[in-house]
Amino acid sequence: FLCNLQLLEINWTGLTNLLDVPGLNGLSDTIILDIISNYLVLPNRITVPLVSEVQIAQLRFPIPKGVLRIHFIEAQDLEGKDTYLKGIVKGKSDPYGIIRVGNQIFQSKVIKENLNPKWNEVYEALVYEHPGQELEIELFDEDPDKDDFLGSLMIDLIEVEKERLLDEWFTLDEVSKGKLHLKLEWLTLMPTAENLDKVLTSIKADKDQANDGLSSALLILYLDSARNLPSGKKINSNPNPLVLLSVGHKAQESKIRYKTNEPVWEENFTFFVHNPKRQDLEVEVRDEQHQCSLGNFKLPLSQLLESEDLTMHQRFHLSNSGPNSTINMKIALRVLSLEKQARSPDHQHSAQVKRPSLSKDARKSSFKPQVPVSPPPDSNKPVPASPVTDSDKKTDTAEKSQPPNASPQWPTDLSRSSSSLHASNFSYSPSHLSVKEPTPSIASDISLPIATQELRQRLRQLENGTTLGQSPLGQIQLTIR
């Protein structure tokens, strides 16, 4: 837009020279200026949408491209890093692994004094954008002071999607010896329940009454807004509402909206679901200021199995709340299906990616690896794993506690997520973790708000306000009075 009508100098050429005739020239200039004024001069303006309405809907309700199930099985012939008698006698190592997919981070248990460790752990990670994204694995030897590097591995997720199933030994990079046994499964998100019984049988969830273990489905939830919430404990005082969401033992919470009974959240959440036929989604709206409930409701996931495209988008009435209190949500269930492909015995793939080597100084700068504390898993059944992600509540504390020029610290809260790890260009080492504890094996329920990341990615495609074949969009002038 233009703040004021600008002077316009027109140089007519060719047959349009007829408009330079006295009497016509002033009229033609006035008509053109009026047209410009009606379109560009404030309060009129031309709006150029950077993202279409369809893309905005996708950003608000992102569907992952797939789920990567990682069987972290064993390693062989690792380097012995522990030494005795000032290095004269070489010992073994206490190996463990750090696994990363985007900003989802898992740590295996430590196997004491073993150069051929067997972990037999399973993790599940969401994949939103797999072109150019890799599965990164680093092995370390646990030590009291600093942990020694035992090798690394990068797997191209595009190749994993093509193969659907990879079960083999991979040679470790950046070390003289060592190899790692992985089984990788690419799970497709299906909008129908046709294969659900088959999936439940494959993960033995049809007979198991537990709510934890390998996942058969993914619950995707968009929390929009709420209306007509009660005032809470004090009359005529607006609450500070937040929403608690839980599926089985997995729980997440929204951000707090202050002083309103008409909150708008516009947040995304995801839950790995063991058996949607037996599990429920529980939603509770709470007042953070007075620590009281403002309403709740329970949705059996079996209702989603009967809905079109396994999706529900509506206002849900809140129980134990006001007479007209509702919460607006879009909820979708996607069945995780492994589509195996027939391959010839001599089939070759190029899943492993050679990563650039880090300097020895960079490796030596690693400190004690730490991972958030989680409750120990039951020895009789698998427990869902939670990747290490950023915490909204503890970011300030982490920044204050780290010394100047120190590596960025990973947070300790598992129930939150952020895109800051994804946006960072650091090559993570165990020194960025903040509490010592392995990630429990089997799956993750962490939310990944990919909408912000996708929006930033699309905006980066606009170079200085232009796209290919287009002119600059102009300047924006702000007037503050």
Tell me which of 56-60, 89-93, 150-154, 435-439 is least confident. 435-439
Phi, psi for 3 (deg, rounded to 5)? -70, -35
**Sheet hosting strand 241-247, strand order edge to edge:** 250-253, 241-247, 280-287, 292-300
Q: What is the pLDDT of residues 351-361, one digit of tens each?
A: 777 665 554 44
Res 59 pLDDT > 70: yes
According to the model, what pLDDT value does residue 479 have? Answer: 67
Give the predicted TM-score (pTM) of the model: 0.67
Tell me which of 27-36, 55-64, 261-270, 352-361 is least confident. 352-361
Phi, psi for 361 (deg, rounded to 5)? -65, -40
Res 64 pLDDT > 70: yes
Res 75 pLDDT > 60: yes
According to the model, what pLDDT value does residue 29 have? Answer: 74
Res 438 pLDDT > 80: no
What is the rounded average pLDDT of the residues 22-48?
A: 72
Tell me which of 133-137, 206-210, 263-267, 416-420 is least confident. 416-420
Domains of the chain with CATH codes:
1-47 (no CATH), 62-191+349-455 (2.60.40.150), 210-336 (2.60.40.150)
Q: What is the pLDDT of residues 180-206, one digit of tens each?
A: 999 999 999 999 999 999 999 999 887
Q: What is the pLDDT of residues 386-432, one digit of tens each?
A: 444 444 444 344 343 443 333 333 333 333 333 333 333 333 444 44
Res 312 pLDDT > 90: yes
